Amino acid sequence: MACIRFIKQKYKNCLILTNNIIKKRCKISLGEFDNSTIIIDGDLYKQEFHLTEKICDCFIFHHSEKGVIIVIIECKSNNVKVDYVGEQLEESIKVVQKILSEFHINKSTLYPVLLSKSISSIDRRLLKRKVLNFYGKQLNIFRYNCNCNFDDIVRID
């Protein structure tokens, strides 16, 4: 839990302090969460650290008995371009790895997520084929409809 406290202190200017995230007309409800969960706003992070790379809309860090669970979320209200989303998720993974190494966090699980109102069948197939690399582990991108709950994405503890 100390790692979440340290992340919260270092990135305090980038935090979302509500349990409902609304980006690009997509909403994700976190339900009730406590001090074991923080949300970093991707846009605020880019401003704070002067990034030019494309990154996701938000990063959720949750401390559990199994280690740190990270969910990176890209929201698209329409017109999903899988290559573009893939680039954003790849750059976001680099941000996550930087944060984890900074705080010496070794045990973590990452969920790359696309929230969208709709997606064409062609883009859905392309998305299923897209593979991301997180510390040598191959990850697929999870896609959910806008206006979902955090519990729909990941079961914690």
pLDDT per residue as tens digits for the range 71-105: 999 998 778 889 999 999 999 999 999 999 988 88
Which burial class, exposed, middle or buried, applies to 38 when counting CB atoms under 10 A from its CB (0-12, 13-18, 19+)?
buried
Residue 137: predicted pLDDT: 95
- List, as own/partner pairs, every contact residues 15-24 make where C-beta atoms lie below 8 angstroms and the sequence separation is at least 24, other chains included: 15/39, 15/40, 15/41, 15/44, 16/40, 16/41, 16/58, 21/57, 21/58, 21/73, 23/57, 23/58, 23/73, 23/75, 24/57, 24/75, 24/76, 24/77
Residue 61: predicted pLDDT: 92
Residue 157: predicted pLDDT: 43
Which parts of the chain sit beneath pLDDT 70? 1, 155-157
Residue 53: predicted pLDDT: 94
Residues 145 and 116 sit within 8 Å (Cβ to Cβ) = yes
Residue 1: predicted pLDDT: 65
Residue 153: predicted pLDDT: 79
Reported as type and span, the H/E element at residue 135 is none
Residues 141 and 89 sit within 8 Å (Cβ to Cβ) = yes
